[in-house]
Amino acid sequence: MTATSMIETRGLRKAFRGTIVLDGLDLAVQRGQIFALLGPNGAGKTTAVNILTTLLKPDAGTALLDGIDVVRNPAAARAALSLTGQFAAVDPFQTGVENLAMMAHLAHLPRRTAWARVSQLIEQFDLVDAAGKMASTYSGGMRRRLDLAISLISAPPIVVLDEPTTGLDPRSRNQMWDVVRQLTAAGTTILLTTQYLDEADQLADTVAVLNHGAVVASGTPAELKADLDGDRVELVFENDDVYAAAQRAGFGPDATFDPEHASVSVPSSEPVRTTRELLAIADRHSLAVSSIALTKPTLDDVFLHLTGSPVADSTIDSTITTREETAA
Amino acid sequence: MTTTTVPLTTRPTNRPFSDVGAMIVRELRRSIRSVDMLITGLALPAVIMCVFVIIFGGAAERDGHYVQYVVPAILILCSGFGSALTAVTVAKDMREGIIDRFRTMPIFGGSVLVGHVVASVLRNLVASAVVIGVAVLLGYRPEADLGHWILAALYLVLAITAFTWVCCAAGLLLSEEAAQSVNFVFLFLPYVSSGFVPIDTMPTWLQGFARTEPFTPITETMRAFLSNTNPGTNGWLALAWLGGVLVVGYVSSLVLFRSRINH
């Protein structure tokens, strides 16, 4: 670990009622990076975030923000970070401007800086028309944008985003991504957890895959994908009967069958040769193929490969687990 | 779109009064802007005053006018369930995640709770003024001199503060739905005290409870101040009860706030 790490954890452990949630978590995030934590339900993402943001004390291990120990010196750590949680934490009974002005006041910004910052954020987050309206009248996307704007009020060097775009429409999500990219352009270090793999793919410089409270893989999205066997060749069969026959025929030990698409796919470093081989097998068994596709691996595949479960299954009740984790 | 390229200076400055001030403004805005807070916080106390004097008053006339007897009890009753609103607002803050946000900010720890309590005291003092105003319209004639009025006001502030800290702890501990029912404690206990009817008119089996429960000395002390007399033993008992409630409420609020218990 180098001195340039803005976020660093070493051997972080946490258990709730005997259930191990973090099992020696090691992270190192360099200055100005976007670092994505990916993991299935209960992998410990939110617990890690809660420890880093001083909400929770670890059982063992250290967590440093810009060299500041979050357990020993929480006050200084809080000055270096901001948290945007999973729920839009804005006051419904205050207007957008009032919410921002209150947080600017609490961040102890000088009055003139505060007002400049508030109007800047209102503009940046496309809230000009809604600035004077109660937050209770805001749409989900607007509330989320106000939430992020609030957390950026003091322009902290470290921003922690816990599932920042969950529940947003595509336009709001793109807007959010733009803002996050701008932040790193300004030198901010960002740790984000997300259930959207494309979000990590789009934004993150480094991705760490979390499973059972420890990092099972980390690297750039490209590196993680390269760890898989590269491209895949996929044959889609004409109908379910052909698909059933194809399963009996067998396509080698690496083949993955997908009943939903009635297809088989095989990883390949030489796609042309693999395609010929697969078609030859199909011909031999008189299997009618409706289409052939060459697919690049996605982070979804990486995830499946590393954790044995697709991330999509775990997204629906992520809030429930978060609450269980925090209630414990 | 523009972006600040240099992080704004944020040192972990210690400005507790400024932090608490912002939190008080926040809570007062909530009190004034939400319809249910206005109804429960201000209109209901006035209605209760009217109900007791106009509807029950005729049957309850005993020694002199019932309004003269019941005003101190209604002040205490309304302070109780007025403070119970804080259980709901704190539970709401917990659910909405804003308490977590405050906990991750470099601000005076617990300032959000102090904001809740101070706003509750101010809200309930306004409600108490409304109650006394309505009482005067209904024929209440205050007997206290200025000194006893001041004592009564200070005593009321103590009672509201104690009730609110306990409700604050309840709000940190309970779900929003459960927090809604905290006010039943403050509706039920004052009724079974000497506040609304003299204890000797109650069934014998209830008299023991009514004599020993806290709301009897708490209400009698307020009654003594408003009738321009000294509360005597009841005053010390009330002080002990309210002091105890205050300490328990305050300490458990801070402990709950620091430990991370979420619903």
Residue A291 tokens, joined: 């289409």
Q: Do B104 and A154 touch (CB under 8 A)?
A: no
Residues B86-134: tens digit of each pLDDT: 999 999 999 988 998 998 888 888 899 999 999 999 999 999 999 999 9
Q: What does pLDDT average to over chain B?
A: 88
Alpha-carbon gap: A113 to the closest alpha carbon of chain B (Å):
9
Residues in A closer than 8 angstroms to B98, CB to CB, are 89-91
Q: Give B142-204 as a 3 state SS string.
A: CCCCHHHHHHHHHHHHHHHHHHHHHHHHHHHHCCHHHHHCCHHHHHHHHHCCCCCCCHHHCCH
Cα separation, B3 vs A79, in Å, equals 20
Cα separation, A106 vs B18, in Å, equals 8
Alpha-carbon gap: A295 to the closest alpha carbon of chain B (Å):
37
Q: Name which of A164-173, A304-313, B16-25, B161-170 the model is least confident about.
A: A304-313
pLDDT attached to residue B247:
97
B211-220: long-range contacts (C-beta < 8 A, 24 or more apart)?
A: B213/B189, B214/B189, B214/B238, B214/B241, B214/B245, B215/B76, B215/B189, B215/B190, B217/B241, B218/B76, B218/B159, B218/B193, B218/B242, B219/B72, B219/B73, B219/B76, B219/B190, B219/B193, B219/B194, B219/B195, B220/B72, B220/B194
Residue B86 tokens, joined: 């804080």
pLDDT attached to residue A314:
38
| Cα A236 from chain centre | 31
- Residue A137 scores a pLDDT above 90: yes
pLDDT attached to residue B2:
42
Q: Which residue did the predictor score with more confidence, A8 or A200?
A: A8
Mean pLDDT value of segment A247-276:
84
Cα separation, A290 vs B148, in Å, equals 94
pLDDT attached to residue B262:
41
Residues A143-186: tens digit of each pLDDT: 888 998 998 898 899 999 988 887 778 887 888 888 888 888 88
B102 part of contact set with chain A, CB < 8 Å? yes
- Residue A321 scores a pLDDT above 50: no
Q: What does pLDDT average to over chain A?
A: 84
Q: Do A55 and B11 touch (CB under 8 A)?
A: no
- Find all residues with CB under 8 Å of B238, minimum gap 6, and list them: B155, B214, B217, B218, B220, B221, B231
Residues in A closer than 8 angstroms to B106, CB to CB, are 75-76, 78-79, 107-108
| R_g (Cα) of chain A, nearest Å | 23
Give one word for B153, left, alpha or beta, with left for phi > 0 and alpha for psi -120 to 50: alpha
Q: Among A33, A35, A24, A38, which residue's Cα sits nearest to residue A4?
A: A33
Residues B205-250: tens digit of each pLDDT: 889 898 889 999 999 999 999 999 999 999 999 999 999 999 999 9
Q: Which residue of A lies nearest to B16 if distances are taken between CA atoms? A: A106
pLDDT attached to residue B22:
94
DSSP string, A262-289: TEEEEEESSHHHHHHHHHHHHHHTTPPE
Q: Name which of A222-231, B80-89, B106-115, B168-177 the model is least confident about.
A: A222-231
Q: Which residue of B lies nearest to A116 if distances are taken between CA atoms? A: B4
Residues B35-91: tens digit of each pLDDT: 888 888 888 999 988 888 888 877 766 555 788 889 999 999 999 989 999 999 999
The complex scores an ipTM of 0.85
pLDDT attached to residue A315:
36
pLDDT band at A30 (very low <50, low <70, confident <90, very high): very high
Report the DSSP pairing between strands A189-193 and A158-162. Answer: parallel
Q: Which residue did the predictor score with more confidence, B261 or B258?
A: B258
- Residue A328 scores a pLDDT above 60: no
pLDDT attached to residue B200:
86
| Nearest CB partner across the interface for A89, out of B15, B98, B107 | B98
Share of chain B above pLDDT 70, in %: 92
| Nearest CB partner across the interface for B260, out of A55, A91, A92 | A55
Residues in A closer than 8 angstroms to B6, CB to CB, are 155, 186
Q: In the sheet that A68-69 helps form, which strands lie side by side, from edge to edge?
A: A19-30, A5-16, A60-65, A68-69
Distances, alpha carbon A8 to alpha carbons A26, A31, A116, A189, A212, in Å: 7, 11, 33, 12, 19
DSSP assignment, residue B64?
Answer: B
Mean pLDDT value of segment A3-9:
84
Q: Which residue of B lies nearest to A175 if distances are taken between CA atoms? A: B1
Share of chain B above pLDDT 90, in %: 57
Mean pLDDT value of segment A105-132:
91
Cα separation, A33 vs A187, in Å, equals 8
Q: Which residue did the predictor score with more confidence, B22 or A43?
A: B22
Cα separation, A247 vs A282, in Å, equals 11
Q: Do A78 and B34 touch (CB under 8 A)?
A: no
pLDDT band at A325 (very low <50, low <70, confident <90, very high): very low
Residue A326 tokens, joined: 């925090």
Q: Which residue did the predictor score with more confidence, A304 or B223?
A: B223
Bridge partner residues of A263 (DSSP): A236, A258
What SS3 state is found at A256?
Answer: strand
